[in-house]
Amino acid sequence: MSSIDNHIINDKINYVGIIRFNQQCHNWLSHKYICNITIDNIKYNSVEQYLIFKKAELFNDERIMKAVMIAMDPLDMHYLGRRIENYVDEDWVKIRGEVSYIGNKHKFLQNPDLYKKLFETKFNKLIYYADDLVWGCNPDDKGENLLGKTIMRVRENDMLSMTNIYFYNKYNDFAACEKSKYIVNEDDYNFCEMNNIDFFIKYIV
């Protein structure tokens, strides 16, 4: 892991704001949001479909694997996930975060509109506002917020390595940048200063 990643995923980062999301607000961040995703040459219609498929695969439940792949409604997929045979919670707990990460990474990197939306959240903390205290948090902000943390991991690690984002040492002469290609964003620079991140981010227009 590079020094950039170490800074970016550091829990001590001072986020500039909070964005709470659920099925009614900013629902495009949800596992259940419908969008085309291809992972290992298999097409899915949502992260939820991928998540339940991998959950069923872990426990060799071919019946649920087939059923979830023909389901159209993410709520039905969620229900199927509760009917997996031979389910062992501690086994699923070990990999659910990584499965969600892989699904969300493909979701945002394969869909330019969602990529743009997520990038525009910049350095706001993302909190999944739900009764589920594993994937989200309740109104008192009690919960693990696993989904919010996973999406921030995609945003702060994977998106910053894409080819349309460039890093320059913050002590460079920004005036020398090609203004036709780059936007110098003072808020991002100040964020880097505040958190001792040695790189300043610019976006291609």
What is the reported pLDDT for 13?
A: 54
Q: Please report how many Cα atoms fall inside a 13 Å half-sphere around the Cα of residue 186, on the Cβ side.
A: 0
Q: Which two tokens stand for residue 3?
A: 């020094």
What is the reported pLDDT for 159?
A: 73
Nearest to residue 62, comparing CAs of 39, 80, 42, 37?
80
CATH topology for 3-162 is: Tetracycline Repressor; domain 2 (1.10.357)
Q: Model pTM?
A: 0.74
Summarised one tens digit per residue, pLDDT across range 62-100 is 999 999 999 999 999 999 999 999 999 999 999 999 999
pLDDT at 156 > cutoff 60: yes
Summarised one tens digit per residue, pLDDT across range 38-71 is 999 999 999 999 999 999 999 999 999 999 999 9
| Residue ranges per structural domain of the chain | 3-162, 166-205
What is the reported pLDDT for 52?
A: 99
Mean pLDDT, rounded, for 184-190? 55
pLDDT at 162 > cutoff 80: no
